[in-house]
Amino acid sequence: MLEKTFTEKTYTLEILYHVGTYENSIHFIFDHASKTCAIIDPAWEADLFIQRIIDKGYTLTDIWLTHWHGDHMNAADEIADKTGAKITVGVNETPYLQVEHSVTTVNDGEIVTLGNTQAKIINTPGHTAGGICYLLDGHIIVGDTLFVYGAGHCSLPGGNVREFYHSMQKLKLVNDDVMLHCGHDYGCKIDTTMSDQKAGNAYLLLDNEEDFVKYVDGMSQGLVAYPTQALTLKEIQHML
Ligand SMILES: [Fe+2]
């Protein structure tokens, strides 16, 4: 299991890659001052995650979900049972999310806090109806909304290609130097920044809604290859 650690002013971000059947990336936020931890999209390995947090001397207080898909939350109930951690999810995701515990809902522009660490919520519907991203100081955790040079599909309940286009326009406003962290390692590399993605990710490069729809629909029909590396707008338009 590959791991990465990024130490920032108020928090440390740790990432476990390739976890479980669908090889999910699991993100841990460790707030230095309060010694509390938030885990983003816990799936597959509840006990391993809980032990990891205990071993570091931290207390797990929060489970932050990006969206309802099982490979991003199938350990949420078990972790909440065993630790009492509070589950947070986007307000528009609740009709789809299947958890036994009650959840706290958040909406676009709200701030969630963990000790001295804050994350701004960005609603990014499209992959699901109520998907959200967590923007921290220097890092953004996006679930399946973006992958390195790619993005999630829109084919499950709640998915919507046109909403996805508008979510991409919002993500283009995130600062260039912010590191992007995705729910799966599906691209040609792991480390990337928003600047890197704005320059080569087809989903961010397409600046016309109709072309975007054509591109994504073309992919689901097998007419367009899924991108795993940087493309130019010219190359993408050539595929349409
Ligand atoms: Fe997903």
71 DSSP 8-state letter: G
Measure 57 CA to ligand 1 centroid, in angstroms: 31
Domain ranges of the chain: 3-239
Residue 45 above 90 pLDDT?
yes
Tell me how far the alpha carbon of residue 69 lies from the centroid of ligand 1, in angstroms.
5
Closest CA to 26 of 42, 50, 44, 6: 42
pTM: 0.97
In this predicted model, what pLDDT tens digit does every residue of 146-160 receive, in sequence order? 999 999 999 999 999
Q: How far is the CA of 37 from the centre of ligand 1 (A)?
A: 23
Q: What's the pLDDT at 1?
A: 79
Q: Which CATH architecture does the domain made up of 3-239 adopt? A: 4-Layer Sandwich (3.60)
- Residue 13 has a pLDDT of 98
The pLDDT tens digits for 137-189 are 999 999 999 999 999 999 999 999 999 999 999 999 999 999 999 999 999 99
Q: What distance in angstroms lies between residue 3's CA and the mean position of ligand 1's atoms?
A: 21
Strands of the chain (E only): list them.
3-7, 11-19, 24-31, 36-40, 59-64, 86-90, 103-106, 111-114, 117-123, 132-136, 139-141, 179-181
Spacing, Cα 152 to ligand 1 middle (Å): 7
